[in-house]
Amino acid sequence: MHSSPVSDEQRVVAAARGLLRNIGRLSRDLYRAGEFGLSRSHVSVLDALETRGLRVTELAADTGLTQPRVTVVLQELVERGLAARTRCATDRRAVDASITPEGRRFLEEARQRMAGAIHAGLAARGSGTEDSERAVLAAREAVSLLLDALHTPIEAEVS
């Protein structure tokens, strides 16, 4: 009996399964290393606000949280001084959310702890600085490629 050849799609899907499992583990480990002192929902909202202000509906779509959950999380972040809410100038019913300077500092400090954990882990494995840097840069490039692929619209076939 001949085993059927493995298709390109099957090979990519098999590789993706292992990648997804490892990304999940890496995410959990980095979250712990960041010592955020906040829930993942809180960090997810801050992360989403880092590049630009968003409305609650946009935050819900961006984070995968429900609108009621985003509203609660946003209120808690405002109370801690990490985010701010303002009424939208063009639509008074809408609320715009933004990150505060304290929120930016908070994220940066946590990311420094996360980067430190990566560095310490690589150093403990005996990786030199150049090897460690090369590994991190390769991982960053690979993740960027995957993100770009996921966010590139599939072009319609031309008949």
**How do residues 102-129 score in pLDDT, each as one tens digit?**
999 999 999 999 999 999 999 998 888 8
- Is-contact 95 88, C-beta < 8 A? yes
Question: Is position 63 within any domain?
Answer: yes
Sign of CA dihedral 125, 131, 137, 143: negative
Out of 68-72, 79-83, 123-127, which region has the weakest mean confidence (pLDDT)? Answer: 123-127
Of the pLDDT bands very low, low, confident and very high (cuts 50, 70, 90), residue 70 is very high
Question: Is position 157 within any domain?
Answer: no
Question: Is position 70 within any domain?
Answer: yes
Kindly tell me the number of DSSP H helices and DSSP E strands found in the chain: 6, 3
Question: Is position 94 within any domain?
Answer: yes
Helix orientation angle between 101-124 and 129-151, rounded to the nearest 10 degrees: 130
Q: For the residues 124-137, what does the mean pLDDT come to?
A: 88
Is pLDDT of 1 > 80?
A: no
pLDDT single digits (tens) 6-42: 788 888 888 888 888 899 899 999 999 999 899 999 9
In eight-state DSSP terms, residue 84 is E
Provide long-range contacts, Cβ within 8 A and 24+ apart, for 153-156.
none
Residue type, 73: V
Question: Is position 6 within any domain?
Answer: no
Residue 96, domain extent: 11-150
In eight-state DSSP terms, residue 95 is E
User: What CATH code is carried by the domain that includes residue 45?
Assistant: 1.10.10.10
> What per-residue confidence (pLDDT) applies to 157?
44
Q: For the residues 82-96, what does the mean pLDDT come to?
A: 86
What is the count of structural domains for the chain?
Answer: 1
Of the pLDDT bands very low, low, confident and very high (cuts 50, 70, 90), residue 61 is very high
Q: For the residues 93-100, what does the mean pLDDT come to?
A: 90
Question: Is position 3 within any domain?
Answer: no
Question: Is position 156 within any domain?
Answer: no
Closest CA to 100 of 115, 110, 114, 86: 86
pTM for the whole structure? 0.77
Coil vs helix vs strand at 97: strand
Question: Is position 51 within any domain?
Answer: yes
What is the rounded CA–CA span in Å between residue 47 and residue 103?
9
> What per-residue confidence (pLDDT) applies to 154?
67
